[in-house]
Amino acid sequence: MQVKVKPVSYFKKYLPEGESVITKELSSPVSVAELLRLCGFPADIQPLITVNGRRKKPDYVVADGDEILIAPPAAGG
């Protein structure tokens, strides 16, 4: 199973040098939270997560071909 992780904003610092997307081969389904740890993101981040353009929670189990966007949480006042 293959999925893509695209971090934006300050989460880009976790990308391999020169890359804009992390492509990950998985042998079994994992949650988005587990996937992020496998990709080298710290366990304590709390990003806004979209999968194939739809908002998801960290416990969402990814499927083959999913594209996961990781963004900072929205803030404002």
Whole-Å CA distances, 20 to 11, 27, 28, 31, 69: 11, 23, 24, 21, 11
Please indicate whether residue 49 or residue 76 has the higher confidence score (pLDDT). Answer: 49
> Distance between CA atoms of 49 and 36, rounded to whole angstroms?
11
pLDDT in tens, 49-70: 999 999 999 999 999 999 999 9
Domains of the chain as residue ranges with CATH: 2-71 (3.10.20.30)
Asked whether the predicted pLDDT for residue 42 surpasses 70, the reply is yes
The structure's pTM equals 0.89
Asked whether the predicted pLDDT for residue 77 surpasses 70, the reply is no
pLDDT category of residue 43 using cuts at 50, 70 and 90: confident
